[in-house]
Amino acid sequence: ADAYSWPGEHHIHIEGALTPELLFQLASSNGVTLPTDDHAFQSVSTLYERYQHFESLDDFLHYYYIGMSVLVTESDFEALAWDYFQHAARDGVVHAEVFFDPQAHLSRGISYETILSGFKTAQTRALEEFGITSELICCFLRHLPVPDSLAAFNIPELQASLTNGSVAGIGLDSSESGFPPLLFKDLYQQAAAFGIRRTAHAGEEGPASYIRDALDTLGVSRVDHGVALVQDRELMARVAEQGTLLTVCPWSNVFLKGVRSVSELPIREFLDAGVQFSINSDDPAYFGNHYILDNFCAVQEAFNLSVDEWRRVCEAGIRGSWCSEQRKAEML
Ligand code: HPA
Ligand code: ZN
């Protein structure tokens, strides 16, 4: 195999692949009322227009949680994932590791089984029709009370999915500032005791110390975003030495005002320091419909990576994937 056969994706929130088109369609078929006091929800085009002006992660998350409230039935979850896999196939994706936020659905009375069954059907179809392999990663929401995440983790069906391999591991997402990794120490220790793989969003809006805490306190084997690592050279050297994968999301950082342009991202610093990172889309339907290939292109335009540097990025992604060793060997 060669590097050209790979884009793999490790940081895509499936609820962030909900396009305004599908959002309005499901709101209508499920009889879900969207906010009437927000002009953005008047039409597909006003919603797309609003998505061009997020002020921060939290401003985006406000729309993200309203959006996903239209997901009700198993076939809704399937349609959402299938929409993503079609985009992924067009972009040449061969392997995708997909986050989902069960707490945001369980709290609306949707069963875990409904969510998972819908995704599984789409995953099977993506494998059959496109040859795309995929894994699911169950994320916990850091803006909710910690006991809420522990209660979710202890739902028998959810825990079984993590221990029987139908879900590859856990993550931590949602509002970052003010919600340090330390809060979720118990959750991550419980997961570690089961031998469950762990990642966490850290260093997106939060400081580099959140990356250190995710590594040291939560025991994560990779770090989602992690761009704040550049603020701590000592930690950066350690992350490079350990070979921990960062899942960088260029367009996301621009849309959520972490940076003014992709060229401000520490891509060159990471390459020079030997930090392992992959390039990802995060929430493509909310961030200008920039799926993974647009993110690769933006990085290339800003940093003009050599073929050898792209090979390093791709190989880092494969090595950091949460798939079987056999699948890794096929992709390398
Ligand atoms: N950061 C934190 N939480 C999220 C994100 C993100 O980029 N996308 C969806 N949930
Ligand atoms: Zn994310």
Q: Give the number of residues written for the chain.
A: 332
Q: Phi then psi for 282, rounded to 5 degrees?
A: 70, -80
Residue 3 pLDDT grade (very low, low, confident, very high; cuts 50, 70, 90): very low
Kindly state the DSSP code that residue 206 receives in the 8-state scheme: S
Ligand 1 pocket, residue 282 CB under 6 Å: yes
Q: Which position among 97, 135, 176, 204 bears the catalytic label?
A: 204
Distances in Å between the Cα of 80 and the Cα atoms of 46, 77, 123, 164, 288 are 21, 5, 11, 24, 17
pLDDT at 4: 53
Tell how far the Cα of 191 is from the centroid of ligand 2, in angstroms: 20
Tell how far the Cα of 296 is from the centroid of ligand 1, in angstroms: 19
Element (H, E) at 223: strand 222-225
pLDDT tens for 94-109 read 999 999 999 999 999 9
pLDDT tens for 200-245 read 999 999 999 999 999 999 999 999 999 999 999 999 999 999 999 9
Tell how far the Cα of 83 is from the centroid of ligand 1, in angstroms: 19
Nearest CA to 98 out of 46, 51, 133 is that of 133
pLDDT at 285: 98
Ligand 1 pocket, residue 201 CB under 6 Å: yes
- pTM, rounded to two decimals: 0.97
Q: Would you state the torsion angle of the CA atoms of residues 67, 13, 52, 302, taken in this order, to the nearest 10 degrees?
A: 180
pLDDT at 54: 98
| Interface pTM, i.e. ipTM | 0.96
Residues flanking ion ligand 2, Cβ below 5 Å: 282
pLDDT tens for 37-63 read 999 999 999 999 999 999 999 999 999
Tell how far the Cα of 57 is from the centroid of ligand 2, in angstroms: 10
Amino acid sitting at position 4? Y
- Is the model's pLDDT at 2 over the cut of 50? no
Which ligand sits closest to the CA of 98? 2
Q: Is position 204 annotated as part of the catalytic site?
A: yes
User: According to the annotation, is 11 in a ligand binding site?
Assistant: yes
Ligand 1 atom at minimum distance from 205 CA: 1
**Alpha helix positions (H), 154-263:** 156-163, 185-193, 208-216, 233-242, 250-255
**Structural Rg of the chain based on CA atoms:** 19
Ligand 1 pocket, residue 16 CB under 6 Å: yes
Ligand 1 atom at minimum distance from 174 CA: 3
Residue 6 pLDDT grade (very low, low, confident, very high; cuts 50, 70, 90): confident
Nearest CA to ligand 1 atom 4: 174
pLDDT at 5: 60
Ligand 1 pocket, residue 101 CB under 6 Å: no
Q: Which residues pair with 171 in a beta bridge?
A: 139
Measured distance CA(258)–CA(98) in Å, rounded: 23
Residue 1 pLDDT grade (very low, low, confident, very high; cuts 50, 70, 90): very low
Residue 36 pLDDT grade (very low, low, confident, very high; cuts 50, 70, 90): very high
Tell how far the Cα of 126 is from the centroid of ligand 1, in angstroms: 24
9, 283, 295: residue to mutate for ligand 1 pocket, most atoms within 8 A of CB? 283
pLDDT tens for 262-307 read 999 999 999 999 999 999 999 999 999 999 999 999 999 999 999 9
Coil, strand or helix at 125: helix
- Across all residues in the chain, what is the average pLDDT? 97
Q: For the chain, which domains are there?
A: 3-331 (3.20.20.140)
pLDDT at 58: 98
Amino acid sitting at position 259? V
